[in-house]
Amino acid sequence: MYYPYARPLYVMAKAAGPLCNLRCQYCYYLEKQHLAPSLNPSPEEEGSVTDKSLPPREGMRGAMSDSLLESYVRDYIQLQQTPEVLFTWHGGEPMLRPLSFYKQAVRYQQYYGRGRQISNSIQTNGTLLTPEWCRFLHDEGWLVGLSIDGTKEMHDAYRVDAKGEGTWQRVVDAIHMLQDYGVEWNAMATVNHANVSQPLAFYTFFRDELHCQFLQLSPVVERIRHHSDGRHLAQLFDENCAIAPYSVKPAEWGKFLCDIFDEWVRHDVGEMFVNVFDATLAGWMGVAPGICVYAEECGHAVVMEHNGDVYSCDHFVFPQYRLGNILTNGLPQMVYGEKQTAFSRLKKDSLPRQCRECLWLKACHGECPRLRFLHTADGEPGLNYLCAGYKIFFQHVAPYIDFMRNELLAGRPASGVMTAFV
């Protein structure tokens, strides 16, 4: 039994599949190219790529065909029951597809949208941005999520190109170009071994040098497991795997969050938006946070690969989490079907007792299931690797978040917290 129109349906479309022009050392998606023949292109898909500036073979693999693009845009719009339809373009690196691909997507959106409000966001490493792209992004009102990990030293530690060279300067140039053209953007920053020990330098770089208003933090945690097909990262059920060296440690993550929170809560509430802090306040208020990892249930945003295959989540693009293909299975059947419903519920249903009885459950909800590979003190599986860090963070921010919640409930702005604790 599924309820097709009970909630918005989100699909992250991988226009260029797992292909990327960079080789960020902590990337979990690039190695999807090894995963299954289904993620390699058909001859039709190969023929659809028109960007001749890319290396021949590299440019041809993993490209969404024009016929698939049209089917996807049509079906996605028709299935949405909300007035606004949001398209999300992800990678790999989605800008490996030529601008003509996205112009075509917009034409299909206009044709099949028939006057509905259509929004687009694109998550990019920024290195392929050009003035022509910026004009398009501005004129069409697209939101750009740009990946940057902080200062040059922090960013270049892992975000390198195919030659192993740092990409920071190109990304900063891209941000300035977006700003010059008036394109709306936000920053997606991973927190990893190279930047976790410098929280203030990290935060003030985004605030004071990039003038970033929306900062999305994402902790890097991967485990190593070598596979015969060339992949090197572990899945949730793999046991006894070493933590990858670029990962954050739990206590480091907790301290990092505390330190930037202390700066934010005194100076920037209402001016700068940090996803973890917003989600924490939402949890305290009893409303759904904007990020799946802190929600009670998840699985509301599926991934569609370039060949039309749909998976449960960006972090679960593995054969056992394949829901079907957009050309042969309906999107609502996949998104609201039994398999994805079970995936959604697992986040809540698999919580160990330690989480169910935790003081911070309202804001944490056991965080992301992909990181639940620890055992609790009494031996129960399913504890999140970052748990110890979250306990440090929630304990530290509780008085401030209590205050902010009370202000909001009283109809006053939460920004009063900036002067309440001096």
Interacting residues toward ligand SF4 by CB under 6 A? 292-293, 298-299, 313, 315, 347, 354-355, 358, 360-361, 364, 366-370, 384, 387, 390-391
CB 422 to ligand SF4: min, Å: 29
User: Pairing mode, if any, of strands 309-311 and 322-325?
Assistant: antiparallel
| Whether residue 230 has a cis bond before it, omega within 30° of 0 | no
Residue pointed to by tokens 């992004």? 137
CB 241 to ligand SF4: min, Å: 18
Task: Choose between 171 and 317: whose C-beta lies nearer to ligand SF4.
Answer: 317
CB 322 to ligand SF4: min, Å: 15
Distance in angstroms (rounded) separating the CA atoms of residues 370 and 402: 29
Buried b (16+ CB within 10 A) or exposed e, 136-171: bbbebebbbbbbbbbbeebbbbbbbbeeeebbbebb
Task: Choose between 61 and 370: whose C-beta lies nearer to ligand SF4.
Answer: 370
Q: Are 246 and 26 in contact (CB under 8 A)?
A: yes
3-state SS assignment for residue 186: strand
For residue 207, the 8-state DSSP code is I
Catalytic residue among 262, 309, 314, 402: 314
With CA atoms as reference, report the closest residue to 383 among 345, 344, 362, 356.
356
User: Pairing mode, if any, of strands 374-375 and 381-383?
Assistant: antiparallel
Task: Choose between 225 and 391: whose C-beta lies nearer to ligand SF4.
Answer: 391
Distance in angstroms (rounded) separating the CA atoms of residues 247 and 193: 5
CB 29 to ligand SF4: min, Å: 13
Active site residue 259: no
CB 351 to ligand SF4: min, Å: 7
3-state SS assignment for residue 219: strand
Task: Choose between 355 and 417: whose C-beta lies nearer to ligand SF4.
Answer: 355
Distance in angstroms (rounded) separating the CA atoms of residues 46 and 66: 11
With CA atoms as reference, report the closest residue to 83 among 118, 109, 112.
118
* 49: exposed, middle or buried (Cβ count in 10 Å: 0-12, 13-18, 19+): buried
3-state SS assignment for residue 68: helix
Distance in angstroms (rounded) separating the CA atoms of residues 226 and 229: 9
Task: Choose between 141 and 399: whose C-beta lies nearer to ligand SF4.
Answer: 399
**What's the alpha-carbon Rg for the chain, to the nearest Å?**
21
Beta bridge partners of residue 301, listed in sequence order: 10
Beta bridge partners of residue 90, listed in sequence order: 14
CB 235 to ligand SF4: min, Å: 12
For residue 371, the 8-state DSSP code is G
CB 204 to ligand SF4: min, Å: 28
Q: DSSP letters along 350-366, please? A: T--HHHHT-TTHHHHTT
Task: Choose between 207 and 372: whose C-beta lies nearer to ligand SF4.
Answer: 372
CB 391 to ligand SF4: min, Å: 5
The residues near 2 (Cβ < 8 Å, ≥ 6 apart) are 332, 333, 336, 337, 338, 341
Task: Choose between 234 and 292: whose C-beta lies nearer to ligand SF4.
Answer: 292
Task: Choose between 68 and 281: whose C-beta lies nearer to ligand SF4.
Answer: 281
The residues that are catalytic are 314
